[in-house]
Chains A and B, each alone.
Chain A
Amino acid sequence: MSEFFSMGGYGSYIWSSYGVTAIAMIVLLLATLRGLRNSRRELDQLETVLHTKRQRRNRKSRKAT
C-alpha cells in the first residue's frame, strides 16, 4: 500500500498534481452551484414581491369598477 502511495519515489509530485486538479475542479463546480442557488433564491424573492404587488393592484382595480 505504501508502495502505491510513494509512486516509485515520485509520490509527492504525482499526488500534489492530482490534488490540485481535484481541488480546482471541485471548487469551480461548487462555486457555480452556489452562485446558481443564490441567483435562484434572489429571483424567487423578486417574483413573490412582484406577485403580491400585482394581486394588490388587481384588487384595487376591481374595487374601483
Chain B
Amino acid sequence: MHRFAKPSVFLKLTAPILPWLAGATAILIAAGLYFALFASPIDYQQGDTVRIMYLHVPSAWMGLFCYVGMAICGAMSLIWKHPLADICARATAPIGATFTALCLITGSLWGEPMWGTWWVWDARLTSMLILLFLYLGYIALVNAFDDPDRGSKAGSALALVGAVNVPIVKFSVDWWNTLHQPASIVRMDGPAVDPSMQLPLALMILGFTGYYFVVLILRVRLELNERRIRALHLSGMFDDNAQDAEPYDPGHNAETSQ
C-alpha cells in the first residue's frame, strides 16, 4: 500500500498549480483564437485557409511533444523505476494520439482546397500517420495486461524503442519532400512565417501545451485513484473473514486531499 505514498507528493504539488494553469490555458487559447480568426492577415497565396495552420501546426507540435515526453518518461522509469514515470507516460498517450489525429485531419482539410487532394503520401504526412500507429500500439499494449503495472512498464519500453521514429519524423522532410511545403517554422535561419502570423501561432502552441499539462495532471490523478481502488480490492480487506488485514491508511485519495 505504501508503494503509492510517493505519488501523493505529486498531488500536493499539482493541486495549487492546476487552477492557475487551467486559467492561463483558457486565456491563451481564447487570445490565440481571436488572433487566428479575426486579427491576422490572409496569406497572399493560400487566402483564408492559412487559418487552419493555427490548429495544424500546434497539433503536430503536440503530437511530437507528447511522444518525446513519453520516451523521456520511459527512460526515467528505466533508470529510477519510479512508478510515477510510467503513470505519466500512460496518461500522455491518449492526449498525444488525439493531437496526432487532429494534425492529420486538419492537414487533410487544408490539403483539399490547396493541393486539390485530401491525402498525399508525402514523407511528413506519412510519418505523422506512423506516429499515430505508434500511439495506438502503445495504448493497446498498455491495456492488454491484467496487471496495470506490467502494462505500464512494457509500454515504457515500447515508447523508448519507438522514439527512434520521432527523429525520423522530424528530419524525413529533408529526405523526401514532394508536395508538402518544406519545414518553415523550425529552420536554422529563423522562422519564415510572417511576424503577424507568428503571434497567433505562438499563442495557440502555448495554449495547446497548457491544455496538455492540465489534462495530464487530471489523468495522472485518475490513474492514481484507479490504482488505489485496485489495491484496496486486492488487499482482501473487503472479505468478511479478513479480520487481520493490515489497517488501511486513508488520506491518499487524489481529490479529497486537496
Contacts and interface: CB of A to CB of B under 8 A. Distances in A.
Direct contact of A and B (CB under 8 A): yes
Interface of A: 4, 7-11, 13-14, 16-18, 20-21, 24-25, 28-29, 32-33, 35-36, 39-40, 42-44, 46-47, 49-51, 53-54, 57
B238 interface: yes
Contacts of B226: 39
Nearest to A23: B102
A2 B232 CA distance: 58
A24 B101 contact: yes
Max chain A Cβ within 10 angstroms of own Cβ: one of B109, B221, B233, B243: B109
A61 to B, nearest CB: 10
Interface string B87-99: 0000000110010
- Identify whether the interface residues of B are mostly helix, strand, loop, or mixed: helix
Interface stretch (B68-76, B152-160, B250-258): B250-258
A36 B222 contact: yes
A14 to B, nearest CB: 5
Interface residues of B, number: 45
A13 B110 contact: yes
Contacts of B38: 4
The 10 closest A-B pairs by CB, nearest first: A39-B225, A7-B48, A8-B48, A17-B106, A17-B109, A40-B255, A32-B218, A36-B222, A13-B109, A8-B47
Contacts of A11: 48
- Identify whether the interface residues of A are mostly helix, strand, loop, or mixed: helix
A10 B113 CA distance: 8
B209 interface: no
Contacts of A40: 225, 253-256
Contact of B228 (A9, A21, A43): A43
Given A28-B95, A32-B215, A43-B228, A14 B51 contact: yes
A40 B252 CA distance: 11
Nearest to A61: B243
A20 B218 contact: no
A13 B118 CA distance: 11
A43 B237 contact: no
Contact of A44 (B94, B110, B253): B253
A32 to B, nearest CB: 5
A28 B98 contact: yes
Nearest to B221: A36
A14 B56 CA distance: 11
